[in-house]
Structure 1
């Protein structure tokens, strides 16, 4: 048997590489050909779950394939995206919700993933407003009452949130630090559990997304003591902001969509365009109004740049909450 000449061998290799590239390009052009998993780092029923179920429903119409929501709460809402980053292929068939916790948790706990490099930043999609609320029957009528009680009873003010390491937890701890009081944080698996704890008298207060607690406010079951918005809002009339009370805590927390690192640009663009169309739809804007969330759109490169800057700035909030991990 005669060996192939060097030129012929190189030609065969080049042809094989070209064929492989064509197959990859064809697969990317055809994407998606099956259902897409969207991992949500919060329990079912909360504001984030409701938000992304609607976004998934609307984006699936653009993509022509169903988007299946999988709830995976834990680790400050980072369990879902970090698990995806470590175990899933960058083929666009598994993506995850990214909240501020993804860019904060590494300051609080040692992790085996990088909050920037291990992800493909696909789309910025919106933002939350947060508030501190108590049971309507609570003797704490305003934030001054809560602070006075906490100073007289160190550690006895219990504040429920959707879990340790979440934005809600950080805001509660940061407010306590600025007010020079001691609180006891009680983390639950999701916002619905935290709200139930307050309504049932098991905890004294909760910090949560305004949209999550608003039904209880409107029904007269809860009372808001303050918000973390930059300015007072129409839907919380008469409620002071933390800033107006002298606490430097203005915290709009954006959320978006991420995938495993090294996702092909054509797939990223298809996902971005589908979710962008979903976020700009009248149906979704109506949901934003209902949940009292804000519009916040970022294309892939803009979103990644924002993430890099936000990651640096988050250290100060963790430090103010006295939750920086020890080296």
Structure 2
């Protein structure tokens, strides 16, 4: 090796070491300003409530406020996909991730990759989904709704928090398995969908049970079925879709993602803060109130789950007859 080559090599090593030291210094000072957390649903629904509480609790661990920005649309993928395309992986913009992130590319052509364009930070919890109607509805059972839909093709209306969401997919899959034609009505948030049912603008809604419970507790809605693996004692008399002959078991986890290539030190800092938040008594009380489940996954575990779920999710899209054409 010539003396010139040796000098160049030493210079490259020095630059690399300086860069690594700089990255560590940035990570050690993180965060030194507020953090944005993008949520793909409108205000008032279970997802919004959940992440507002997590953000509040995690901010106490991080020493900086976490500001929620609601960005509904594109099956709840507008928030994370916008972040992935536009924001730096410095930890100051992160996003809520729901199952739709790993499903929407099967339904619509997208300009982002559901796995490689994200840093998977933390798995945090899971939903129970239910089908509910207005308390004054003539539909007392799922069979009543199915009978109406068979006699009146396209006239049975089911509201959800938006096209491409888990609630939409469950609606279409249930209709397909029942052999009926329904009209899906997508809104910008769960609260809007619930209001539509209460106002008689839609006959039923599919949503997270935590969104529906306030309506049932005030005798404004009635739950007809759940999509849990088995019946639960806190929903007395409510059958599961599976027990009624529909092969739909769907507890959907949610978590936190960032833009791709986030520094591991920052990912770890966020994971620990949100893990502590999710394990707090205050958050566990909210989980109980919303009837959600704890689901803690480390960054590596969360990414592995995402890769596997992305593969399996295609079958639900196919059953709902929403698979996009090439």
TM range, smaller chain: over 0.9
Matches within 5 A, 1:107-256: 107-256=106-255
Give the drift of 1:19: 2.4
Report 1:32-47 matches (<5 A).
32-47=31-46
Segments of 5+ residues of structure 1 without an aligned counterpart are: none
Aligned to 1:258: 257
CA distance in 2, matches of 1:126, 1:223: 25
Alignment match, 2:283: 284
Give SS of 2:109's match.
coil
Alpha-carbon distance between aligned partners in 1 of 2:31 and 2:100, rounded to the nearest angstrom = 29
- In the other structure, the counterpart of 1:86 is 85
- Residue 30 of structure 1: how far off its partner (Å): 1.3
Per-residue CA deviation, residues 100-124 of structure 1 (Å, 9 max, x unaligned), is 0000000000000000010010100
Distance 2:170 2:116 in 1: 27
Aligned residues: 324
CA shift digits 1:157-209 (9 cap, x unpaired): 00000000000000000000000010000000000000000000011000000
Partner Cα distance (2:10, 2:20) in 1: 15
Q: How far does the alpha carbon of each residue in 1:281-301 deviate from its partner, in whole angstroms, 9 at most, with x for none?
A: 000000000001011111011
Question: Residue 322 of structure 1 aligns with which residue?
Answer: 321
SS at match of 2:159: strand
Are 1:77 and 2:76 an aligned pair? yes
Match of 2:62 in 1: 63
The root-mean-square deviation of aligned C-alpha atoms, in Å, is 1.2
* Post-superposition offset of 1:10: 4.9
Q: 1:160 to 1:12 in 2, by over 3 A?
A: same
Task: List structure 1 runs of 4+ shifted beyond 3 angstroms.
Answer: 4-17
Q: TM-score normalized by structure 1?
A: 0.97
Q: Aligned in 2, Cα 1:320/1:9: closer, same or farther, shift over 3 Å?
A: closer
Once the two structures are superposed, what CA deviation does each residue of 1:59-91 show, in whole Å capped at 9, x if it has no partner?
011111110100000000000000000111111
TM-score by length of 2: 0.97
Using the alignment, how far apart are the partners of 1:163 and 1:240 within structure 2?
25
Aligned to 2:300: 301
Q: Distance in 1 between matches of 2:34 and 2:61?
A: 13
Match of 2:22 in 1: 23
* CA offset digits 1:259-309 (Å, max 9, x no partner): 111111111111000000000000000000000101111101110000000
Unaligned stretches of 5+ in structure 2? none
Which deviates more from structure 2 when the two are superposed, residues 23-32 or residues 100-109? 23-32
